[in-house]
Chains A and B, each alone.
Chain A
């Protein structure tokens, strides 16, 4: 067995351990109600089991990481698959640190699914070992990417605690406009997490089914000298085309549910590499997410937030608020160091300027500015509690956009980290 095979096995082990860790955390929290014994002892016992299993998962993922490092000869953070798995691992590390300080098993109930979503998302990207391009061949790759991801991981745990705080404090009985608005947005946040699941489910579903559709797309480009050049490209979809690329014709499309023709065409302003395919994927994710959401609603016959809310009532909301704030206070300096300072040092060495307003740089700055606004707002009393938790939700959206959205939507110097 070589290093890379060992690495893949360790990854699968980590994935399942995380899934079990999540189930045990749910047992620890939900089981308080229906276990016959003392609820505090029940939570402590199952919390310990859940923590052990999750920690074993982290150990397995560390094995995955280091064996892949040895196997491929350079640190596995150089493409989207490697980076996202690393981010998932970093969130686990941050989670372990925070839970060792605060010992609140309920945090695992939210953080573990987040980690599972992140590493499943990673698996959507090509997993082959790829050799380094010259721009990445620097020890700053190790330092910059790992530190930035660890900082973001703590901010993500801040989000997990903030979300829990909202699930705990949002008013489910009152009929005031503000309570309704809060319920709506909380449910929307959960829905977005399901859309992320929907993305993963649809990609893997159709990948297993071996689905493929092929298009010929004609694009007109304007060169630097102002001449229009038209090119034809073949675009391959691995999800059934609901939206076909702009200005394209079907070469071949497998039938799905008897339909083998696209239903719509991407608008012309959606430029960029594979814009049509990305739009199609977004549509599929939303659809699958909506189906998942609908199924869950059918099962529980309640808003999802209202399903989770009763599980959270045993914890003091102030504790959750503090955990969230603490995680962010820990993560912010790490993020500053990794995503800005180390990034500037590396940019100075590799690109001869420490700052160039590249989209990725700008979005790292936006993340930083957002969290510094968060920290300053906490100076005033009105921005503790719920409002501050909403900020952690927005902050998490910004982080995810910086990590994923920028690569998919905006091309820049960091585009080598994108998907194929």
Chain B
């Protein structure tokens, strides 16, 4: 559609301009027809980039994302999508060894099955949700750019003298005659405006009083912050930027953090529960945790880092890790994640018995983790051939270890010495009584079991770890950007919400003054300011009478 953008005052405006950049007249409509309508003051009536004539494809994409309507739709769709993600727990929120489809069906019935089939069980990682977030990000960039530049230009080169129609069609306006000296009247008006922190520009008998223009930039600063935040969140997908490791450390042990040169030691783990007298009546007798703490030490390794036995360690940090208090070192944070109080075998001190003579030799110290490769016990020699942390029989009938934790340790020694075959005889040893029975140690050792036995005498020769702590080690280089983004966004919100851009225009025709006032929100305050200035100048009015109405739909 062809639009005449040249104003009656002679100013040539860009296509899409609503209000003449110079005098404020409405463009594109007959002045007399709409005289009573309020003006649309968004972006000061300036043309936006998206209002080009003859748009190209790029322009069309730009126009799509520059629309606030589209932005609102995107927000609403995201909101509804996110709410769907809270109907049943997300996949990431629980641990199961079961097939997920079965899990949802068995736990939540048919609706759970549908939920899983629709992919809602991972709503927040699904392509459409991520796409929505990316589209919101795009909309943030384009909406802001489309508006902030024209608005900046419009506010930066405001004309002081506005057309009468512009003033009378503001939501707050006043028109009246002045008794006495006109210049003095305006002086009084101006003094009051200055008292209320307005900046006044006066040109002949027209003037513009303005304050808090910066608050107009609030929404855009908020958007910049949000964009930075979203970029930082996307940046976390860069592997080198993020680390998320878990370590399991029995009390007293030192464990390497996978993929780093750091080692962590759990010096002591403490769990405390509330005593009955600390609890209200209803909760007595229940277990209510008071404190979980790992007294942790972090070491940096400089050489031989493959095992904690041989590594050359240098202490770098020491911190009692509690739930709300992680250990921090060079961007690495170590969090208390969980604990386990199943006792874990650390070492045993068994003896060797020669059943023929009844004589015992030893004890010797056998550590579950990193045992020695050979032991000399009296006249006997034990060569460690193989050891298992959690003994089990594999599918092919061969012994295997099911995990790396000493849950069911087993050792195969080559036993040699007096009364044994030349070159030794193999002997399998289960330090835990339950395993010894379960895996029938005596049968496995066949004939040897009748002549020799390796066993522990008394509990004082068994060393258990009572607590095992689970720590979560995280590195997230994007975090500073996340916080800065949120900080900027918050700054913008505060600027935009708690300050209000207010402008008062005044023009004089003979002994009649015409005043229009505009603000982007809080008209109540705007009218109060205007009424106060009018009163000081000599024309007292009720603030409410300045209202031209506006919200009525």
Interface residues of A (CB under 8 A from B): 101-102, 126, 128-131, 133-135, 137-138, 140, 222, 224-226, 228, 268-269, 271, 316-319, 321-322, 325-326, 329-330, 332-333, 336-337, 340-341, 344-345, 348-354, 356-359, 362-363, 365-366, 369-370, 372-373, 376-377, 379-382, 384-387, 406, 410, 412, 420
Cross-chain contact of B553 among A128, A228, A366, A386 (Cβ < 8 A): A386
User: Is there an interface contact between A362 and B282, defined as CB atoms closer than 8 Å?
Assistant: no
B241 at interface (Cβ–Cβ under 8 A)? no
Q: A269-B108, A344-B486 are in contact. Are A373 and B553 (CB under 8 A)?
A: no
User: Is there an interface contact between A359 and B522, defined as CB atoms closer than 8 Å?
Assistant: no
In whole angstroms, how far apart are the Cα atoms of A379 and B48 in the complex? 15
User: Is there an interface contact between B322 and A222, defined as CB atoms closer than 8 Å?
Assistant: no
Known contacts A134-B289, A352-B326, A382-B553; 19 additional CB pairs below 8 A are: A128-B281, A131-B278, A134-B290, A224-B95, A224-B96, A226-B98, A268-B109, A325-B521, A332-B497, A340-B486, A344-B482, A357-B123, A362-B83, A363-B83, A363-B86, A365-B82, A369-B82, A377-B72, A412-B93
Interface residues of B (CB under 8 A from A): 40, 42, 68-69, 71-72, 75-76, 78-79, 82-83, 85-87, 89-90, 92-98, 102-103, 106-109, 111, 123-124, 274, 278-283, 288-292, 322-326, 333, 335, 337, 472, 474, 479, 482-483, 486, 489-490, 493-494, 497-498, 521-524, 544, 547, 549-553
In whole angstroms, how far apart are the Cα atoms of A352 and B83 in the complex? 24
Residues of A within 8 A of B479 (CB): 348, 354
A348 to chain B, nearest CB (A): 7
In whole angstroms, how far apart are the Cα atoms of A359 and B326 in the complex? 24
Cross-chain contact of A373 among B75, B89, B281, B326 (Cβ < 8 A): B75
Residues of B within 8 A of A137 (CB): 291, 322-324
In whole angstroms, how far apart are the Cα atoms of A256 and B290 in the complex? 42
In whole angstroms, how far apart are the Cα atoms of A366 and B79 in the complex? 5
> Which residue of A has the minimal Cβ distance to B73?
A373
Cross-chain contact of B323 among A134, A326, A377 (Cβ < 8 A): A134
Cross-chain contact of B68 among A134, A269, A350, A376 (Cβ < 8 A): A376
User: Is there an interface contact between A410 and B86, defined as CB atoms closer than 8 Å?
Assistant: yes
**Interchain Cβ contacts under 8 Å between A and B, 23 examples:** A126-B282, A128-B281, A140-B324, A318-B552, A319-B524, A330-B498, A332-B497, A336-B489, A344-B486, A349-B324, A349-B326, A350-B323, A357-B93, A370-B79, A377-B72, A379-B42, A381-B553, A384-B553, A385-B551, A386-B553, A406-B86, A410-B86, A420-B282
User: Is there an interface contact between B283 and A333, defined as CB atoms closer than 8 Å?
Assistant: no
User: Is there an interface contact between B292 and A134, defined as CB atoms closer than 8 Å?
Assistant: yes
In whole angstroms, how far apart are the Cα atoms of A126 and B283 in the complex? 11
Which DSSP category, helix, strand, loop or mixed, fits chain A's interface? helix
User: Is there an interface contact between B290 and A318, defined as CB atoms closer than 8 Å?
Assistant: no
A71 to chain B, nearest CB (A): 12
User: Is there an interface contact between A130 and B280, defined as CB atoms closer than 8 Å?
Assistant: yes
User: Is there an interface contact between A350 and B551, defined as CB atoms closer than 8 Å?
Assistant: no
> Which residue of A has the minimal Cβ distance to B550?
A318
User: Is there an interface contact between B279 and A131, defined as CB atoms closer than 8 Å?
Assistant: yes
> Which residue of B has the minimal Cβ distance to A333?
B493
Q: A321-B551, A365-B82 are in contact. Are A269 and B111 (CB under 8 A)?
A: yes
> Which residue of B has the minimal Cβ distance to A411?
B89
Number of A-B contacts (CB under 8 A): 170
User: Is there an interface contact between B553 and A385, defined as CB atoms closer than 8 Å?
Assistant: yes
User: Is there an interface contact between B71 and A134, defined as CB atoms closer than 8 Å?
Assistant: no
User: Is there an interface contact between A226 and B102, defined as CB atoms closer than 8 Å?
Assistant: yes
User: Is there an interface contact between A271 and B551, defined as CB atoms closer than 8 Å?
Assistant: no
Q: A128-B281, A319-B524, A357-B92 are in contact. Are A226 and B97 (CB under 8 A)?
A: yes
User: Is there an interface contact between A350 and B324, defined as CB atoms closer than 8 Å?
Assistant: yes
Residues of A within 8 A of B86 (CB): 359, 362-363, 406, 410
Cross-chain contact of B109 among A225, A269, A322, A377 (Cβ < 8 A): A269
> Which residue of B has the minimal Cβ distance to A340?
B486
Residues of B within 8 A of A380 (CB): 68-69
User: Is there an interface contact between A329 and B90, defined as CB atoms closer than 8 Å?
Assistant: no
User: Is there an interface contact between A357 and B124, defined as CB atoms closer than 8 Å?
Assistant: yes
User: Is there an interface contact between B490 and A224, defined as CB atoms closer than 8 Å?
Assistant: no
> Which residue of A has the minimal Cβ distance to B77?
A369
Residues of A within 8 A of B102 (CB): 226
A344 to chain B, nearest CB (A): 7
> Which residue of B has the minimal Cβ distance to A325?
B521
User: Is there an interface contact between A225 and B97, defined as CB atoms closer than 8 Å?
Assistant: yes
User: Is there an interface contact between B94 and A224, defined as CB atoms closer than 8 Å?
Assistant: yes
User: Is there an interface contact between A131 and B274, defined as CB atoms closer than 8 Å?
Assistant: yes
User: Is there an interface contact between A226 and B109, defined as CB atoms closer than 8 Å?
Assistant: no
Residues of B within 8 A of A319 (CB): 524
Residues of B within 8 A of A386 (CB): 553
User: Is there an interface contact between A128 and B490, defined as CB atoms closer than 8 Å?
Assistant: no
In whole angstroms, how far apart are the Cα atoms of A235 and B328 in the complex? 46
Residues of B within 8 A of A381 (CB): 40, 553
Residues of B within 8 A of A377 (CB): 72
> Which residue of A has the minimal Cβ distance to B84?
A362
Residues of B within 8 A of A382 (CB): 553
User: Is there an interface contact between B323 and A336, defined as CB atoms closer than 8 Å?
Assistant: no
Cross-chain contact of A128 among B87, B93, B282, B333 (Cβ < 8 A): B282
Residues of A within 8 A of B291 (CB): 134, 137
> Which residue of A has the minimal Cβ distance to B38?
A381
User: Is there an interface contact between B482 and A354, defined as CB atoms closer than 8 Å?
Assistant: yes
In whole angstroms, how far apart are the Cα atoms of A177 and B83 in the complex? 31
B543 to chain A, nearest CB (A): 11
User: Is there an interface contact between B107 and A222, defined as CB atoms closer than 8 Å?
Assistant: yes
Interface centre among A102, A330, A363, A373 (most CB of B within 10 A): A373
Q: A137-B323, A332-B493 are in contact. Are A322 and B79 (CB under 8 A)?
A: no
User: Is there an interface contact between B482 and A226, defined as CB atoms closer than 8 Å?
Assistant: no
B123 to chain A, nearest CB (A): 8
User: Is there an interface contact between B79 and A369, defined as CB atoms closer than 8 Å?
Assistant: yes
> Which residue of B has the minimal Cβ distance to A406?
B86
Q: A128-B280, A137-B324, A321-B551 are in contact. Are A326 and B79 (CB under 8 A)?
A: no
Cross-chain contact of A333 among B72, B75, B482, B498 (Cβ < 8 A): B498
In whole angstroms, how far apart are the Cα atoms of A384 and B553 in the complex? 7
Q: A224-B94, A386-B553 are in contact. Are A131 and B290 (CB under 8 A)?
A: yes
In whole angstroms, how far apart are the Cα atoms of A52 and B489 in the complex? 38
In whole angstroms, how far apart are the Cα atoms of A234 and B313 in the complex? 56
> Which residue of B has the minimal Cβ distance to A126?
B282
In whole angstroms, how far apart are the Cα atoms of A362 and B292 in the complex? 28
In whole angstroms, how far apart are the Cα atoms of A130 and B497 in the complex? 38
Residues of A within 8 A of B497 (CB): 329-330, 332-333
In whole angstroms, how far apart are the Cα atoms of A256 and B516 in the complex? 69
Q: A131-B288, A333-B497 are in contact. Are A357 and B474 (CB under 8 A)?
A: no
Residues of B within 8 A of A369 (CB): 75-76, 78-79, 82
A343 to chain B, nearest CB (A): 11
A82 to chain B, nearest CB (A): 13
In whole angstroms, how far apart are the Cα atoms of A143 and B472 in the complex? 25
User: Is there an interface contact between B521 and A326, defined as CB atoms closer than 8 Å?
Assistant: yes
Residues of B within 8 A of A271 (CB): 107-108
> Which residue of B has the minimal Cβ distance to A372?
B75
Q: A224-B94, A226-B98, A357-B90 are in contact. Are A322 and B523 (CB under 8 A)?
A: yes
Residues of B within 8 A of A330 (CB): 497-498
In whole angstroms, how far apart are the Cα atoms of A345 and B523 in the complex? 36
In whole angstroms, how far apart are the Cα atoms of A317 and B547 in the complex? 13
Closest 7 CB pairs of A and B: A128-B280, A138-B324, A384-B551, A333-B493, A352-B335, A226-B98, A224-B96
User: Is there an interface contact between B493 and A336, defined as CB atoms closer than 8 Å?
Assistant: yes
In whole angstroms, how far apart are the Cα atoms of A356 and B281 in the complex? 35
Cross-chain contact of A322 among B78, B82, B85, B524 (Cβ < 8 A): B524
In whole angstroms, how far apart are the Cα atoms of A269 and B337 in the complex? 33
Residues of B within 8 A of A340 (CB): 486
> Which residue of B has the minimal Cβ distance to A359?
B86
In whole angstroms, how far apart are the Cα atoms of A341 and B484 in the complex? 11
Residues of B within 8 A of A269 (CB): 108-109, 111
In whole angstroms, how far apart are the Cα atoms of A242 and B303 in the complex? 72
Residues of B within 8 A of A224 (CB): 94-98
In whole angstroms, how far apart are the Cα atoms of A268 and B110 in the complex? 11
B408 to chain A, nearest CB (A): 19
